[in-house]
Amino acid sequence: MKKTLIPEGTPLFENIARNQIPEILESLSAVQKDYHKNEGILLQGDSVSDLGILLSGSAHSLKTDITGKQVIVTLLKPGSYVGVLLAASQERKSPVTVQADETSSVLYLPYRKLLTQSSCPGHARLLYNLLHGIAEMALVLHDRNDCLIKPTIRDKVLTYLSQEAEKTGSRSFSIPLNRAAMAEYLNVDRSALSRELSRMKQDGLIDFSRSHFRLLT
């Protein structure tokens, strides 16, 4: 395998010495794959047996319903997992497509080998990090669902912005979504979202400029 650069802060390798990582990757038969912009990293309906980690670039997962409508489920940045829940389940096919937003690289680790290769360095810590990552993924999906179940666009927006404010620890922050992506993430019409954002600004609830927001209440 070509030399792999693991991004600083990658959850799976947290608290593992960086000089141990090449040996770990070799013992686990890790494979790195590169993707072009808009290329599918994972397709809806695929079976998944390997845990993926986004090394570089960015991507998003989206779900297509029977009418052809697509909804963004999650956003991925370097260090994010790809298919971790599916790899753990072994039997379920992917309910989403993961698509590269730009030139990206993904590192794949065989899930079964990850669980059983007790001789690899830092194995206990690796398993701890994996379980923690699965829990974090579940919480990310919970946050998304918390937005989707709100009855109005205003409620969805306020829930999402409150979540982002909590993550940054500030009431003034930038979000990683443009208007189109924000509308898809909240599962609302883009024009309706823009109108509601303007009303919320007029009502003194928020202030914003492009992707930078400030909560006023």
Domains of the chain, by residue range, sit at: 11-124, 150-215
Mean pLDDT of 16-31: 87
C-alpha–C-alpha distance, residues 107 and 25, integer Å = 9
For domain 150-215, which CATH number applies: 1.10.287.1080, 1.10.10.10, 3.40.640.10, 3.20.20.80?
1.10.10.10
Mean pLDDT of 167-177: 93
Mean pLDDT of 35-47: 94
Residue 137 pLDDT class (50, 70, 90 cuts): confident
The hierarchical CATH code for the domain 11-124 is: 2.60.120.10
Inform me whether the pLDDT recorded for 168 exceeds 60: yes
SS (H, E, C) the chain: CCCCCCCCCCHHHCCCCHHHHHHHHHHCCCEEEEECCCCEEECCCCCCCEEEEEEECCEEEEEECCCCCEEEEEEECCCCEECHHHHHHCCCCCCCEEEECCCEEEEEEEHHHHHHCCCCCCHHHHHHHHHHHHHHHHHHHHHHHHHHCCCCHHHHHHHHHHHHHHHHCCCEEECCCCHHHHHHHHCCCHHHHHHHHHHHHHCCCEEEECCEEEECC
pLDDT at 9: 80
| 11-124 shares its CATH topology with 150-215 | no
Question: How high is the mean pLDDT of the chain?
Answer: 89
Global model pTM greater than 0.85: no
pLDDT at 133: 82
Inform me whether the pLDDT recorded for 120 exceeds 90: no
